[in-house]
């Protein structure tokens, strides 16, 4: 009998890659489309052990990857894997099976899978009428409403019963400017000072002046654990970024450029080439696209990425706001306390949008402490969940940081029994992550720690 294997269709490969973090579809040096992944390990010995484990699994499957090890001295080592079926010079089902097994060998579950809730994504679906969505912020800033939930007064004669339900909450509508009167005077607020950059660019296919605009949303530098603020301050030319491209792309190589004359760009032109495909990007009410790694080429080789994006891009308003960005959005879609030294979010930490300089001063004047942290909002916050089960959704990583002084101040407040208030979910996630990294150290990477 003659052994044969079928090449998989590219859209089918991208669909499968949605549940395989780190793997991408790219052309190798010989022009062969293959699966690629970089595995970081903390030591060279660890890299050897991982390769040995992969080798044993490859023997079992009778299917073998191409592996390379790069040692980074004190920064560990990287095992680079390339997988494709040599007999057909394409990707087959054997390749996806081997790639999935490599992920399982690389990331032990440590029992986490046993505790993952069996929750259907459909259980969280609800209808939100468009009439309930504000297309413009409250005017004046800070005039937004505030839902206040306070515990109902407890019965002083009642005895607490083990396992009893939480006390009911008293709900009432207030205003955000009431915040100083609602918080304890010794409260300690922690806010996310990350600043949003012009992450959305509309481009066209290179050499096709009449093509329709293609939305490109810059998500994070590639590798994804790189600090966005650092890369935005560097020359744009030659950088690689993980992006959402709102167009069906089934192979690397697509070349894009900013549409000539669409914006006043002071002569700066940006070209982009799709180097890797990571997965399909599906978003309700929008055209399908892909998540891809793009390499950037700028006509001004010295221009900083932040400057180029600012000239060619626009404010990345969320998709549920059905209007084009306006000049006023540059200030309105930005927390007033955002730091120019912490530019890197592709969506605003929305809780901060309700604050005004006067409100911040009122909180401080009442005696409340104020600390800052930075979590650059990326695809991990807003990428739609398309998996059938919530636990199957692949979360993107986001870079965060907090100064030692601010962290020590928060610890002092906690030890003194004061109320620590996280301003929004990004600050809450950062504080929770710092706690877990402290009590149960997780995997380290050369540029920091990740969960």
Burial 27-54 (b: 16+ CB within 10 A, else e): eeeeebbbbbbebbbeeeeebeebbeeb
pLDDT at 445 over 60: no
Range 331-351 average pLDDT:
94
Tens digits of residue pLDDT in 429-440: 999 999 888 776
> How, if at all, do strands 420-422 and 188-192 pair?
parallel
Give the whole-angstrom CA distance, residue 40 versus residue 17: 19
Whether the per-residue pLDDT at 441 is higher than 80: the answer is no
Q: In the predicted model, what is the mean pLDDT of residues 78-105?
A: 95
Percent of the chain with pLDDT over 90: 62
| Helices (H), ranges, 245-398 | 305-312, 329-332, 357-365, 379-382
Arithmetic mean of pLDDT over the chain? 88
Residues contacting 176, CB < 8 A, separation 6+: 142, 143, 144, 145, 146, 354, 359
What pLDDT is recorded for position 130? 85
Lowest mean pLDDT among 3-7, 195-199, 341-345: 3-7
DSSP one-letter string for 78-114: EEEEEE-BTTTTB--HHHHHHHHHHHHHHS--TTHHH
C-alpha closest to that of 178 among 146, 138, 137: 146
How confident is the model over 30-61, as pLDDT tens digits? 889 999 999 998 889 999 999 999 999 999 99
pLDDT in tens, 214-272: 999 999 999 877 899 999 999 999 999 999 999 989 889 999 998 545 444 457 899 99
pLDDT at 262: 46
| Its pTM surpasses 0.75 | yes
What domains are there in the chain, each with its CATH number?
10-105 (3.30.1360.20), 130-150+170-194+329-444 (3.40.1780.10), 199-313 (no CATH)
Measured CA to CA, the distance from residue 420 to residue 309 in angstroms comes to: 36
pLDDT at 163 over 50: yes
Q: Does residue 373 register a pLDDT over 60?
A: yes
d(CA 220, CA 165): 43
Question: Could you tell me the pLDDT band of residue 18, with boundaries at 50, 70 and 90?
Answer: confident
């Amino acid at each position: 009998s003659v052994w044969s294997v079928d090449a998989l269709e590219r859209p089918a490969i991208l669909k499968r890659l949605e549940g395989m973090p780190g793997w991408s579809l790219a052309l190798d040096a010989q022009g062969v489309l293959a699966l690629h992944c970089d595995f970081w390990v903390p030591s060279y010995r660890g890299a050897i052990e991982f390769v040995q484990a992969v080798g044993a699994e490859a023997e079992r499957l009778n299917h073998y990857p191409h592996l390379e090890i790069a040692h980074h001295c004190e920064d560990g080592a990287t095992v680079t894997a390339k997988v494709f079926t040599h007999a057909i010079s394409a990707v087959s089902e054997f390749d996806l099976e081997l790639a999935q097994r490599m992920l399982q060998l690389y990331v032990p579950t440590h029992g986490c899978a046993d505790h993952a809730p069996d929750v259907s994504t459909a259980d969280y679906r609800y209808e939100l009428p468009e009439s309930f969505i504000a297309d413009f912020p409250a005017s004046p800033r800070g005039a937004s409403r505030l839902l206040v939930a306070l515990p109902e007064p407890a019965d002083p004669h009642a005895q607490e019963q083990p396992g009893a339900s939480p006390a009911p909450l008293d709900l009432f509508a207030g205003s955000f400017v009431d915040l100083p009167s609602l918080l304890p005077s010794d409260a300690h607020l922690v806010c996310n000072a990350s600043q949003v950059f012009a992450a959305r660019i509309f481009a066209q296919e290179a050499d096709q002046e009449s093509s329709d605009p293609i939305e490109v949303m810059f998500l994070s530098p590639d590798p994804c654990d790189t600090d966005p603020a650092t890369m935005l301050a560097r020359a744009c030319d030659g950088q690689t970024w993980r992006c959402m491209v709102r167009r069906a792309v089934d192979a690397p190589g697509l070349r894009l450029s900013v549409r000539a004359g669409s914006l006043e760009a002071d002569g700066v032109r940006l070209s982009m080439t799709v180097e890797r495909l990571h997965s399909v990007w599906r978003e309700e009410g929008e055209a399908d696209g892909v998540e891809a790694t793009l390499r950037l080429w700028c006509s001004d080789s010295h221009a900083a990425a932040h400057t180029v994006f600012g000239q060619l891009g626009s404010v990345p308003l969320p998709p549920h706001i059905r209007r084009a960005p306006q000049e006023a959005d540059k200030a309105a879609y930005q927390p007033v306390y955002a730091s120019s030294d912490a530019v890197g979010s592709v969506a605003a930490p929305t809780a901060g949008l309700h604050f005004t300089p006067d409100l911040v001063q009122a909180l401080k004047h009442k005696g409340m402490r104020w600390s800052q942290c930075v979590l650059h909002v990326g695809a991990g916050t807003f990428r739609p969940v398309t998996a059938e089960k919530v636990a199957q959704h692949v979360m993107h990583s986001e870079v965060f940081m907090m100064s030692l002084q601010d962290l020590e101040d928060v610890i002092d407040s906690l030890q003194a029994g004061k109320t620590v208030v996280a301003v929004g979910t990004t600050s809450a996630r950062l504080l929770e992550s710092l706690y877990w990294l402290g009590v149960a150290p997780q995997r380290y990477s050369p540029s920091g720690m990740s969960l």
